[in-house]
C-alpha cells in the first residue's frame, strides 16, 4: 500500500463520525484552505473559486501581508471567503525549516508570547474583515512555543474555536486539531479529485490544504486546481464546499440541525 493510500484511508476513518450529516442531503463536506497569504492565491485561486461559485479559507500570515493587497483580501472576505489566522511570524521549530531559515523559530517563544501573537493577528484580521471570530491554522502543523505544547493554553484562551492541523492522520474529531490533506507540487487534477472521491465514499469531511496555486511555492498547478474546482462544481448536488468555520460550525452543532 502506498503511503498516500494509507494517509487517505486514515482521513476517511477520522471523519466517519460525521458521515451522512451534511446540509441538504449532501454526502460529503469539502473545505478548501490556502496558507501563507500568497499572491498567487489572490491572482489565481480566488478568481478560480469565484468563477466556480465556491468559497475557500485563507490562513493569512501577518508579516507577509502586503499593504497593497489589503483591499483585495477585504473584498474576498466580503464575498464570502474566510480569512483565518496563521500567526504573524509563522514561527515553527527550527527542525521544520531548511538550515538557511533560522529566523522566527518557535524555540524563541513561550506560551504567553505565542498566544499574544495569535490574539494580535486576530485583531489584524478583524481590521480587514470586520469579523470577531477567526479560525486558526498551526504554522508547519506544529504547536510548540519553546518546548511547550501551546495547544492546551490556546484551547483555554478561547481566542479561536477551530484549529486546522497540517497532517491527515486518524483521530476522533477535535475542533482544535482538525486533520488536513496537502499535496505534492506534481499533484494532478486527478490526484486532487481522488482525495475528494475517497471522502465521498465514506461520507466524511475532508480539508484540503494548498500554498501556491500556479505560482509562489509548494505550488499546485493552476490547471490541477481548476480541474478540482470543476469537479466540485459539477457534483454540487452531493458535495458541500464551504469555508472551514462554516463546516466546523455545522459539524460541532450537528444535533441542533436535525
Write down how long the chain is. 258
DSSP sequence for 216-235: SSSPBPHHHHHHHHHHHHHT
- CB of 229: closest distance to Zn ion in angstroms? 22
- CB of 13: closest distance to Zn ion in angstroms? 26
Q: Where are the beta strands (DSSP E) in the chain?
A: 28-35, 57-60, 82-85, 136-137, 144-145, 148-149, 163-164, 181-182, 205-210, 239-241
Binding of residue 82 to Zn ion (CB under 5 A):
no
Chosen residue from 18, 29, 36, 42 binding Zn ion by CB under 5 A? 36
- CB of 139: closest distance to Zn ion in angstroms? 5
Q: In 10 A of CB 59, how many CB atoms?
A: 25
Looking at the Cβ atoms of 128 and 232, the one nearer to Zn ion is 128
Sequence-separated (6 or more) residues with CB below 8 Å from residue 72: 42, 46
Q: Sign (positive/negative) of CA torsion 252, 236, 27, 190?
A: negative
Looking at the Cβ atoms of 35 and 200, the one nearer to Zn ion is 35
- Of 49, 37, 57, nearest to 245 by C-alpha is 57
Looking at the Cβ atoms of 87 and 246, the one nearer to Zn ion is 87
Looking at the Cβ atoms of 35 and 117, the one nearer to Zn ion is 35
Q: Which residue number is nearest to Zn ion in terms of Cβ?
A: 35
Helix (H) or strand (E) holding 75: helix 70-78
- CB of 140: closest distance to Zn ion in angstroms? 6
Q: For Zn ion, which stretch binds (CB under 5 A), given 27-35, 46-54, 141-149, 196-204?
A: 27-35
Looking at the Cβ atoms of 29 and 38, the one nearer to Zn ion is 38
Chosen residue from 11, 12, 14, 35 binding Zn ion by CB under 5 A? 35
Looking at the Cβ atoms of 104 and 174, the one nearer to Zn ion is 104
- CB of 35: closest distance to Zn ion in angstroms? 4
Q: Count residues contacting Zn ion (CB under 5 A)? A: 2
Identify the burial level of 101 via C-beta atoms within 10 angstroms of its C-beta, where 0-12 means exposed, 13-18 middle and 19 or more buried. Answer: exposed
- CB of 85: closest distance to Zn ion in angstroms? 11
- CB of 161: closest distance to Zn ion in angstroms? 20
Are the beta carbons of 239 and 26 closer than 8 angstroms?
yes
Looking at the Cβ atoms of 182 and 240, the one nearer to Zn ion is 182
- Of 182, 228, 187, 217, nearest to 39 by C-alpha is 217
Q: For Zn ion, which stretch binds (CB under 5 A), given 17-25, 35-43, 71-79, 250-258?
A: 35-43
DSSP sequence for 17-65: GGTT--GGG-SEEEEEEEES--HHIIIIIHHHHHHHT---EEEE-GGG-
- The site for Zn ion (CB under 5 A) is made up of 35-36
Amino acid at each position: 500500500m502506498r503511503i498516500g493510500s494509507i494517509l487517505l484511508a486514515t482521513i476517511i476513518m477520522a471523519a466517519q463520525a460525521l458521515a451522512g450529516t451534511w446540509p441538504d442531503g449532501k454526502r460529503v463536506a469539502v473545505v478548501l484552505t490556502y496558507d501563507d497569504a500568497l499572491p498567487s492565491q489572490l491572482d489565481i485561486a480566488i478568481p478560480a473559486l469565484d468563477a466556480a461559485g465556491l468559497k475557500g479559507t485563507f490562513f493569512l500570515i501577518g508579516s507577509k501581508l502586503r499593504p497593497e493587497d489589503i483591499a483585495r483580501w477585504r473584498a474576498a472576505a466580503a464575498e464570502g471567503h474566510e480569512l483565518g489566522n496563521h500567526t504573524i511570524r509563522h514561527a515553527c521549530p527550527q527542525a521544520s525549516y531548511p538550515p538557511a531559515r533560522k529566523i522566527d523559530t518557535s524555540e524563541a517563544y513561550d506560551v504567553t508570547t505565542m498566544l499574544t501573537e495569535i490574539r494580535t493577528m486576530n485583531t489584524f484580521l478583524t481590521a480587514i474583515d470586520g469579523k470577531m471570530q477567526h479560525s486558526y491554522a498551526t504554522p508547519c502543523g506544529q504547536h510548540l512555543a519553546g518546548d511547550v505544547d501551546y495547544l492546551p493554553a490556546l484551547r483555554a484562551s478561547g481566542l479561536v474555536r477551530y484549529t486546522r492541523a497540517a497532517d491527515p492522520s486518524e483521530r476522533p474529531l477535535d475542533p482544535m486539531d482538525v486533520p488536513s490533506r496537502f499535496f505534492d507540487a506534481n499533484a494532478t487534477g486527478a490526484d486532487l479529485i481522488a482525495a475528494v472521491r475517497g471522502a465521498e465514499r465514506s461520507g466524511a469531511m475532508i480539508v484540503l490544504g494548498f500554498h501556491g496555486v500556479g505560482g509562489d511555492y509548494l505550488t499546485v498547478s493552476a490547471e490541477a486546481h481548476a480541474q478540482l474546482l470543476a469537479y466540485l462544481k459539477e457534483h454540487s448536488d452531493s458535495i458541500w464546499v464551504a469555508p472551514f468555520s462554516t463546516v466546523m460550525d455545522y459539524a460541532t452543532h450537528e444535533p441542533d440541525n436535525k
